[in-house]
Structures are given as structure tokens and as C-alpha cells.
Amino acid sequence: MKSIFFTFLFLLIIGKITHAQETENPYIVPNDPQVVKNIEDWQDLKFGIFMHWGTYSQWGVVESWSICPEDEGWTQRKGPFSSDYTTYKKAYEDLQKTFNPINFNPDKWAVAAKDAGFKYMVLTFKHHDGFCMFDSKYTDYKITSTKTPFHTNPKSNVGKVATEAFRKEGFKIGTYFSKPDWHCDSYWWPYFPPKDRNVNYDPKRYPERWQKYKDFTYNQIEEILSNYGKVDILWLDGGWVRPKQSIDPNIDWQKTIPYDQDIDMANIAAMGRRHQPGLIVVDRSVSGEFENYRTPEQQIPDVPLSYPWETCMTMASSWSYVPGDIYKPAGTIIHYLVDIVAKGGNYLLNIGPSPLGDYDSAAYTRMKEIGAWMKVNGDAIYGTRPIAPYKENNICFTQNKDKRVNAIYLAAKDEANLPPTLVIKGIKPAKDASIQLLGTKNKLKWKTVDGETVITIPATLQKAPPCLYAWCFVISEIE
Ligand code: GLC
């Protein structure tokens, strides 16, 4: 009775949370059937690799934010130039003159990422600082500028070479692009000092300058979507660049946006889809027609969400490369992945390449461990959809399109052996169902006891699990 009550309470809470999210900011299903189909296909991929890379990697500091004159924990300046804002910004922008990632070898990245089980990639083409990791003709603040030593390298157009390398390995391609540009004089107009992350003049008072900025943004996005092969996702960051009426006063960082910064997303999306039919547009945090999926950051929702979503998260602690950064253990990453997939999301996991152009060795080690797990359990991850009860203590559920159900047991840190029995409450196997552990051949014995499913794991198997961290029991058919 008690458990029925708690299940009821739980469902009521889930209902309330998802309902609240939907009524406040309803998810808008795109009109274009090709976009809808592409989102559905993207939801099969589950696991993407994110890369934040720019000149900032040379100092091992936060991406872009140290030039933002806001007093936030993550904007703090460090190092010899930090005491004076103007000197600091100049030194930061001068990083362009020393950026020379001579070890950049995206084939190596793509092979390692594929082996780890990643299926799509998102690369920072341009972050808030405005430095272009692609050959834009609208600015000289870019990797291919004669000011940047790397420009003579045959791989200097990083955006191009990296996306080609990943595409060749079968990856879908996402391009991260920051709507705000803290280098561009029609965003931070040098006439005024910048005050915060926002445009530093009122676009209503200076409509021509704002128009210039809109054109600049449109043109750069058009370059990316027409010169860089097939792009599947346009991942737009910097949600404060948004129409005033879209500001959600319940969200702290949005409350303080001083101006209307309408960048004309309808125009950008239409152009994007002329070049890239069915393009998925992710206008992050600006709920509406151009946020084709949502992107909780550094967090996993407590409950499944009723719309397409992706958790973006750092593999270490910073998005940017920081020497000696601590990387999450593979077991943690795998548990997060399983939890996210069971709740219907995708997992976009970030690695920040170093100033010389490679991943930290810890990232390669993690990828190997994740890959080993994926090779055994990928079938319970890719192409699956969530199924209630989603998660039961340390067991997560997913469902294959042919209706098989996977019960994925998340092992505790010191749990090296499988338990003697596994008890499942919320999923009822069909009478003739078979249950098998992924990575093994034999069918397991199971029975129903007081309405719960009890699976017996033979002693030999307990001691020889097919992989580390999480074990997946496949139920051939449910009631
Ligand atoms: C945060 C960071 C930003 C980063 C983004 C990735 O918003 O401030 O720099 O690009 O996360 O999701």
C-alpha cells in the first residue's frame, strides 16, 4: 500500500514538473517534416563529442569569459595582465599572434572518438570572444589570419579540417556559434566601454549599427553553412542575444538583459535550411520555433522530459583546456550516459583541446574505457527510447525499437562482481520472455515473486562480468 502511495506521489510530481516546463515555455514542434525527421534520427545517436577550442587554451583559462566585465566566479582574470581590464583584453586578443597548434591532427581525434562510441560532434567555430576557428572573410580575428602563426599550416582552417575528419568516420556534424561577438565593433562598440556580456549600446537608438551586426552574424553563419560540407546541427550559444519579448523574467540571467537584441532567427534559419535542408537549429534557451532541442548544461534532469533534449557536460571541470584539469572517471561518465538515455536525452560530452592541438592523455584513457563498455552495451543505448519507470534505484531502463527492454544496473564504485539476484519491480517480462546479460550468451533464470521479477545470476557469471561499471539485462518481451 505504502509503495503504491509513493509511486502515485512520484508520478504526480513528474506530471507536475513536466507540465510546468511545458506550460511556461512550450516546446514548439518544427513545421518542416525533414527537420522533425532529423531530430528523431539525432535522438538515436545518444552520444556526442563537444570541443571548446580557441586561443584561450594557451593560457589555460576559461573560454572567452575572462574578457567579460562582469563580476562572476567564472569571469575572474588571472595572470600578469589581470589587474587592468584594458591591458588584459589587449593581451587576450594578442593570443591570436602566438596560437600555433602544430600537433592538430583531427584524424586521430575522430578515430579515438568513434572508438569511444561517440556518434556526432559539435565544434566551437566561434565562441563569445569572436575568434573564428574557420576562415571567415568578414574578420581578421581568425585562425587563418596572417597574424596567426598557424595560418601557413595546411590544416589552418580548423573548422574545415576537423569536420571533414569526423564526417569521414561517420559522424553527424554540429557547429557551435556564439551569437554575441565580443570582438566585433558592432556588438561591443569601442565608443562605449563594454559593461557586461550584452551589446554595449541600445540597438533601438543605433539601429544602423545593430543592422550591421545582424548582417555580420548572418554572413558568418552563411559561410559556415555553405562552405563546410554537410552540417546537421547549428548550435547557437549566447542566449542573451534574443528578442526582448522572449525574456523569461523568472530566470535570473535573463532578467538583467537590458536591450532587445533580436538577431532575426527566422531569417537565419531559413537561410540555413536553404543550404542545409532539414538543418536542426538549436537557439539555446530561446524557447520557440528555433530551439529544436533543449540543452540542460552540466546537469541531468531529475525526470524524463517530453521534448528532445541533450545534456552538455564537461569531461574535465572546464570547457576549455586547463593543464592538469581533473577528468571524470569513466564509470561516472557511463552512469551519466545511462541515466540521460533512460530519461530520453542525448549526452554531449566536452573535451578541450590543448594549445598544441591535442586532447589531454586523460581524455584518451577515458575514451578507451567508455569504448570498451559501449562495445558490449551499445545495443541498449543507441536507437533506444525511454520506458517507464525509467529508473528504479540503481537500475535504468531503455527500450529498443523492436520492444526489447534493457534493465541497466549501475554498479557501485567498489562493486566488481554481479549480484546473485536482480529484482525489478516496474517492468513485467512477458510469460515466455527470455532474459540475457549483454556480452554473454546464456539465458538467465527468472521468476515472478510477489509481483516482482527476480533474475538469478549464476555464481560463475557473478565473478566474470562482461564489462565494468554497469551491466545490462535484456528482456526479450514485456507484458
Ligand atoms: C557555458 C559557458 C560557455 C560554454 C557553454 C557550453 O554557458 O559559459 O562558455 O560555451 O557553457 O554549453
Q: Is 436 within 8 Å of 442 (Cβ atoms)? A: yes
Phi/psi at 92 (5° precision): -60, -45
Q: What is the DSSP string of 405-430?
A: EEEEEE--TT--S--SEEEESS--B-
pLDDT reported for residue 25 = 82
What pTM does this model have? 0.95
Residue with CA nearest ligand 1 atom 11: 297
Residue with CA nearest ligand 1 atom 8: 65
Question: Is residue 14's pLDDT more than 90?
Answer: no
Rounded Cα gap, residues 403 and 256, in angstroms: 47
Question: Is residue 464's pLDDT more than 90?
Answer: yes
What is the greatest pairwise CA distance in the chain? 76
Residues 145, 150, 151, 152: what is their CA dihedral angle, to the nearest 10 degrees? 150
What is the Å distance from ligand 1's center to 294 Cα?
Answer: 14
What is the Å distance from ligand 1's center to 378 Cα?
Answer: 28
Q: Is 438 within 8 Å of 387 (Cβ atoms)? A: no
Residue with CA nearest ligand 1 atom 9: 63
Given the CA of residue 62, which atom of ligand 1 is nearest to it? Answer: 9
Of the pLDDT bands very low, low, confident and very high (cuts 50, 70, 90), residue 12 is: very low
Domains of the chain and any CATH numbers: 27-380 (3.20.20.80), 385-475 (2.60.40.1180)
Give the residue-averaged pLDDT of 343-362.
Answer: 98
Give the residue-averaged pLDDT of 120-124.
Answer: 99
For the segment 378-420, what is each residue's pLDDT rounded down to a tens digit? 999 999 999 999 999 999 999 999 999 999 999 999 999 999 9
SS3 label, residue 331: helix
What is the Å distance from ligand 1's center to 178 Cα?
Answer: 10
Give how far Cα 416 sits from Cα of 118, 251, 331, 413, 437, Å. Answer: 26, 43, 12, 8, 16
SS3 label, residue 4: helix
Of the pLDDT bands very low, low, confident and very high (cuts 50, 70, 90), residue 24 is: low
Given the CA of residue 63, which atom of ligand 1 is nearest to it? Answer: 9
Q: Which residues line ligand 1 (CB under 6 A)?
A: 52, 63, 237, 297, 312, 319
Instruction: State which of 176, 319, 320, 351 you would mutate to test the pocket of ligand 1, scoring each by most atoms of that ligand within 8 A of its C-beta.
Output: 319
Instruction: State which of 62, 75, 237 you would mutate to test the pocket of ligand 1, scoring each by most atoms of that ligand within 8 A of its C-beta.
Output: 237
Residues 325, 345, 162, 96: what is their CA dihedral angle, to the nearest 10 degrees? -50
pLDDT reported for residue 210 = 98
What is the Å distance from ligand 1's center to 317 Cα?
Answer: 12
Q: Is 292 within 8 Å of 280 (Cβ atoms)? A: yes
Given the CA of residue 350, which atom of ligand 1 is nearest to it? Answer: 6
For the segment 150-207, what is each residue's pLDDT rounded down to a tens digit? 999 999 999 999 999 999 999 999 999 999 999 999 999 999 999 999 999 999 999 9
Residue with CA nearest ligand 1 atom 1: 297
For the segment 275-298, what is each residue's pLDDT rounded down to a tens digit? 999 999 999 999 999 999 999 999
Percent of the chain with pLDDT over 90: 94
Question: Is residue 363's pLDDT more than 50?
Answer: yes
Angle in degrees, CA 348, 354, 355, rounded to 5: 135
Of 12-16, 30-34, 65-69, 446-450, minimum mean pLDDT range: 12-16
Question: Is residue 18's pLDDT more than 90?
Answer: no
What is the Å distance from ligand 1's center to 314 Cα?
Answer: 10
| Helical spans, DSSP H, in 123-192 | 158-168
Of the pLDDT bands very low, low, confident and very high (cuts 50, 70, 90), residue 7 is: very low
Of residues 6 and 259, more confidence is placed in 259
**Which position has the grid cell 600537433?**
103
Rounded Cα gap, residues 200 and 190, in angstroms: 9
Q: Is 296 within 8 Å of 304 (Cβ atoms)? A: no
For the segment 217-230, what is each residue's pLDDT rounded down to a tens digit? 999 999 999 999 99
What is the Å distance from ligand 1's center to 203 Cα?
Answer: 25
Q: What is the DSSP string of 60-75?
A: T--SSGGGS-S--GGG
